[in-house]
Amino acid sequence: MSGEQPTNLPSEQELAEMSRDELVKLGTKLDGVELVHYEEKWPVAGTKAERRAQRAVATWFAISALSGLAFLGVFLFWPWQYEPSHSDRHLLFLAYNPLIGLFMGLSIFAIGVGAVLYTKKFLPDEVAVQQRGDGPSAEVDRATIVAELADAGERSGLGRRKLITRMAGLGAGVFGLGVAAVPLGALIKNPWSDSDSKNSLWHTGWKSENGEKVYLRRHTGNFHEIVKVRPEDIEPGGFETVFPFRESERGDEHALVAALKRSDAPVMLIRLRPNQAVVKRQGQEDFNFGDLYAYSKVCTHLGCPTSLFEQQTGLLLCPCHQSQFDVFHYAKPRFGPATRPLPQLPITVDEEGYLIARSDFIEAVGPAFWERKS
């Protein structure tokens, strides 16, 4: 912005004919900038010391690029699925999250170190004082600022330090690729290649395979201990989180732990008090068993566990963003950002009196995704 405006400003044609150096000088003068101190870091170009400094900066950008590549590789190809502790692959499973965090963090850190190092080693030491100006920029200011920016870029030495610019570009590019891979993951790996299995977004761990019964199981903290739930285990007004269990999984550590760890498995089993008036969802009038109602615990907003139940009002609360679901009204959202009711699991009892799922959920659980229609 112009400081003290000289009366003999150059005309537009004169401005167009001025060299960048002349424009920079003019801009500095117009801005009322006084250069108190200016010192090049490397007055003699191409010395050994300069090349060493250049390599140090480039190395950090190269580390950033390599870490970005490693992040991409782990994100796309590392075996992330659960493996039990006795399996050879358990350590690989445990390493997935730490490795993703490590490489992502290292990539950002190395870009930061490279940028700071470059500023310290190559930008000139400069102290300038400028008077504060008022009002909008004049035409001449706009013309000179471009020249000043280009000049600053050149003085920074980036133009002639190709190794650094290439490495910085590579680091930033690979890091950008890694960031883009997360939202674009579905274009890299097709999530619909196996839509009928319980591992797809349409199904959950409650899907029965080969007609086998899926019991409602209490989680006692010990995955070996199988406690199947009966209706009388829950007091009127009480509730409990239950998980799917199949007899074929008994003794199979991998299957038992996987069933408990699945993000779509937790279900809130709620026993309403007798004679409680309830509005049921159309087409789901027989999903409950007496006073017992089973709803997915995965919030339809962003997937947090809706674990707080207030028995007087019948409201299930999600603690993340305070959505409230009305269990007296087919778990319809009453408050907060969630817009869809919690999916209801159809339940009944078997001949031995244990609660079982009559089928999987009839709609996808959890938050929205593009292909979802309800």
Residue ranges in contact with ligand FES by CB under 6 A: 299, 301-304, 318, 320-321, 323, 336-338
Cα separation, 18 vs 140, whole angstroms? 12
Collapsing DSSP states into helix, strand and coil, what is residue 301? coil
Q: Residue 222: count other Cβ atoms within 10 Å of its Cβ.
A: 8
Tokens 């279900």 found at? 267
Q: How far is the CB of 332 from ligand FES (least distance, A)?
A: 14
- For residue 158, what are the contacts with CB-CB under 8 A and spacing of at least 6? 164, 165
**DSSP result, 324-352:** EEETTBTTEEEESS--SPPPBPPEEE-TT
Q: How far is the CB of 305 from ligand FES (least distance, A)?
A: 8
Instruction: Kindly tell me which of 194 and 310 has the beta carbon lying closer to ligand FES.
Output: 310
Look up residue 141 and give its two tokens.
């200011």
Instruction: Kindly tell me which of 2 and 323 has the beta carbon lying closer to ligand FES.
Output: 323
Q: How far is the CB of 204 from ligand FES (least distance, A)?
A: 18
Cα separation, 126 vs 134, whole angstroms? 25
Q: How far is the CB of 367 from ligand FES (least distance, A)?
A: 8
Instruction: Kindly tell me which of 288 and 306 has the beta carbon lying closer to ligand FES.
Output: 306
Instruction: Kindly tell me which of 166 and 262 has the beta carbon lying closer to ligand FES.
Output: 262
Instruction: Kindly tell me which of 18 and 302 has the beta carbon lying closer to ligand FES.
Output: 302
Angstrom distances, CA of residue 221 to CA of 224, 257, 260 = 9, 11, 10
Q: How far is the CB of 340 from ligand FES (least distance, A)?
A: 11
